[in-house]
Chain A
Amino acid sequence: MISLLLRRTVSLFVTLLVVSALIFLVMGLLPGDPASIMLGTSASPDTLAALRSELGLDQSLPVRYLSWLGSALQGDLGRSYTYSVPVAGLIADRLAVTLPLALMAILMSVAIAVPLGVQAARHHNRPIDVAISLFSYVGIAVPAFWIGLLLILTFATTLGWLPASGFPGWGAGLGAALKTLALPAVALAIPQAAVLTRVTRSAVLENINEDFVRTARAKGLGETTAIWRHALPAALVPVLTMLGLQFTFLVAGAVLVENVFNLPGLGRLAFQSLSQRDIIVMQNVVLFFAAIVIIMNFIVDLAYLVVDPRLRAAEQ
């Protein structure tokens, strides 16, 4: 187990290094000079040269990468050009919005998907199953940002129950902050829930007639207990896999939904840095998102080994 863990961790760090090098390389190879993109066409040659040397653009790509990596490992990601603050602090501030939003969305999607998936499997091929399948087809097809628009239209514009956009900050009190995150979290959760419902349904269906579930029924457990206590845990591996794989789409959804609801999160930061041509911020945010996806997949990989002893045996 320990050596397995060690191997996985080493491979995680190698992947993270490759990602950072790759993003650096791509941004270095793209046509256009970051300094002149950031300053616009009206900049004087002197300011341009000053920014170029500040950004280290007068050095070669490998040197720039190594010096960036060196300071990144010490927590220094460079300074934002537009905000004149350290990028690391900027990311941390925005993470305080995006992280709770993502967690709420994941919790909601699991809370919707697992009961729906179980019910669909239990009533296989009956009207309730068809209805739930229909929900998952439509839920996958509907863009999260459109759900966001519809939620604003219903709960903010028409009913006036929840704020349409903005974020008061955690300082304004937990209730006020959570209230503004509720609609965006639902918008993010519904497409995720649709995907997870399908996976839960087919995974439970695969296990529902297994011997161990039949044994559970035979020893007098009710159908509900047999499914929830025996069939569902065995079905969790594919559900977890999907949750991990969906993380890329959750990130993409967050970028859009934060823009719909005007939330000062990481996704909005990525978009703002694009429109303000703040290349350093953009590069770090993209890298940060990629790192989160990779680390999430790593955690899911480890979670398998905990959930399913058969996999643990196979790996060793």
Chain B
Amino acid sequence: MIRALRRRPVLMIGAFTTTLLTAVALLSLFWTPFPPTKIQILQRLKPPLEQGLLGTDQFGRDVASMLMAGAWNSLSIAFAAVLIGATVGTAIGLVVSVRRGWLEMLVMRACDVIFAVPPILSAMVLGAFIGAGRFTAIIAIATFMVPVFARLTLAAALQIWTRAYVHAAIGMGRSPLKITVVHVLPNIANQIVVQVTIQLGLAILTEAGLSYLGLGLAPPAPTWGRMLADAQTFFGQAPWLALLPGMAIALAVTGFSLLGDGLRDMLDPRSR
């Protein structure tokens, strides 16, 4: 363990942080110190350790419990969005790598276009029509992820298609679908896994922004972003309310980007 930590500190710190956060998020489904939405107005705005581990908010809700439930809300939205974005994007990239020509140009232009609309804005558009909530947040973030994975997959797959063993497979009369499944996908899987990890961090960051603006989960479900929005009103009295959720976001995002960098160094030694 210690030797592994010394050899790959980035990977180990990233893996530790993200595992811990995921465990806390899962734990919050079964147990939190207090019910995260329970209002106790007499205990409002108590500083950390005076009431509960991390104090209470303006309604007397337990901040530690809210942060735990917030971890689940944030991580589950981020995982769902990245999973959808990665699956759709990778599929598009693979198809385009087989049928190039005008399709490639069309898809790449479309990627440019989608990439030009930040998820915050597409969530606003979606929110106006179908209302804010988990679904809107996931779709807005996933849409932004599609071009990221489509571009990555296309670039990586095109390289594989030039390899000698793929030419041999073509010569043997293997179908493009079979070659994609047997040769291309396994050889680019590493890069996709690394990108998934890195994008998870970005998705958490985006989800926090969305829920700060009120475009994420509806209240009273606790989210890190809305905790920050609420904290703004009670700055002078309760600065910890503004500090803790921000630190949770930063910890989660740093964890996933460290994990992603560590995985890349381990899986692809040429990248360094």
Contacts and interface: CB of A to CB of B under 8 A. Distances in A.
B15 interface: no
A30 B129 contact: yes
A22 B113 CA distance: 9
Contacts of B252: 141
A256 B125 contact: no
Interface in A126-163: 137-138, 140-143, 145-146, 149-150, 152-153, 157
Contacts of B124: 270-271, 274, 282, 286
Interface in A275-314: 277, 279, 282-283, 285-286, 289-291, 293-294, 297
A104 interface: no
Contacts of A138: 250, 254
Contacts of A142: 246, 249-250, 253
A26 B239 CA distance: 42
B100 interface: no
11 contacts: A14-B109, A19-B113, A137-B258, A143-B205, A143-B212, A143-B250, A149-B246, A153-B235, A248-B118, A289-B117, A297-B112
The residue among A18, A143, A150 with the most chain B CB atoms within 10 A of its own CB is A143
A19 B112 CA distance: 9
B232 interface: yes
B55 interface: no
A26 B127 CA distance: 13
Nearest to B126: A30
A294 B242 CA distance: 35
Interface residues of A, number: 48
Interface string B105-125: 000011011011111111011
Contacts of B232: 149, 152, 260
A289 B118 contact: yes
A15 B110 CA distance: 8
A146 B246 contact: yes
Main secondary structure of the interface of B (DSSP, over half): helix
Contact of B121 (A14, A32, A289, A294): A289
A198 to B, nearest CB: 10
Contact of B228 (A137, A146, A282, A285): A146
Contacts of B128: 37, 274, 277, 279, 282
A271 to B, nearest CB: 6
B235 A157 contact: yes
Contacts, number: 136
B209 A256 contact: yes
Given A279-B128, A289-B121, 7 more contacts: A18-B109, A22-B110, A138-B250, A248-B117, A252-B121, A274-B124, A290-B113
Contact of B130 (A15, A30, A256, A294): A30
Contacts of B120: 252, 255-256
Interface in B34-61: none
B213 A259 contact: yes
A228 B243 CA distance: 39
Nearest to A247: B116
Contact of B212 (A19, A145, A152): A145
B246 A143 contact: yes
Interface of B: 109-110, 112-113, 115-122, 124-130, 201, 205-206, 208-209, 212-213, 228, 231-232, 235-236, 239, 242-243, 246, 249-254, 257-258
A249 interface: yes
Contacts of A286: 117, 121-122, 124-125
B254 A141 contact: yes
B121 A137 contact: no
A141 B253 contact: yes
A284 to B, nearest CB: 12
A252 B117 CA distance: 9
Contacts of B116: 19, 248, 289-291, 293-294, 297
A27 interface: yes
Given A143-B249, A279-B128, A149 B117 contact: no
A220 interface: no
Contact of A282 (B125, B130, B257): B125
A153 B242 contact: yes
A256 B212 contact: yes
A173 interface: no
A146 B246 CA distance: 6
Contacts of A259: 212-213
B245 to A, nearest CB: 8
